[in-house]
Amino acid sequence: MPQKTLANAAVDVDAEGYLTDFGQWTRDIAAAIAGEEGIAELTPAHWQVLEFMQQEFKAGGQAPSIRKLNKSGVISTKKLYELFPGGPAKKAAKIAGLKKPEGCV
C-alpha cells in the first residue's frame, strides 16, 4: 500500500491519494490535503461540511452525496462548489480522510 507524508506524518493512501485508515487522520493532515487540492485555508464553513461528512461516514460507511449535503441543510450546492471548486463531493471526502465516494455503476 502506498504511503505519503502529510503534515510531517506518514499516512497510508490509495492510488488516488485518499486515506485508507481514518485513524491516521488529523486536522493538520486535512489542511495539507486541502493545500494540494488548491484550497489555501480551511474556514469554519469548510469545517462544517467536513465534520458533517465524517459523521455521515461513521453512521453509514459512505461519504454523503451532494444531494444529501444540500438536503440536510448543512450547505447549499452552490456554496459547496464555491468552497470546494471542481468536484466538491470527492474533494471534501479526500480532505475529511474518507474513502473515495463509491458512485454507482
| Listed residue (51, 45, 44) closest to 95, CA to CA | 51
Q: Which of residues 24-83 bind another protein (CB under 8 A)?
A: 64-68, 71, 77-78, 80-81
Q: Which stretch binds another protein (CB under 8 A): 6-14, 27-35, 36-44, 85-93?
A: 85-93
Candidate list 1, 10, 40, 104, residue with the active-site label: 104
Residue among 27 and 86 whose Cβ is closer to another protein: 86
Q: What is the DSSP string of 20-82?
A: S-GGG--HHHHHHHHHHTT-----HHHHHHHHHHHHHHHHHSSPPPHHHHHHTTS--HHHHHH
> Is 104 tagged catalytic?
yes
The residues that touch another protein, with contacts defined as CB under 8 A, are 64-68, 71, 77-78, 80-81, 85-87, 102-105
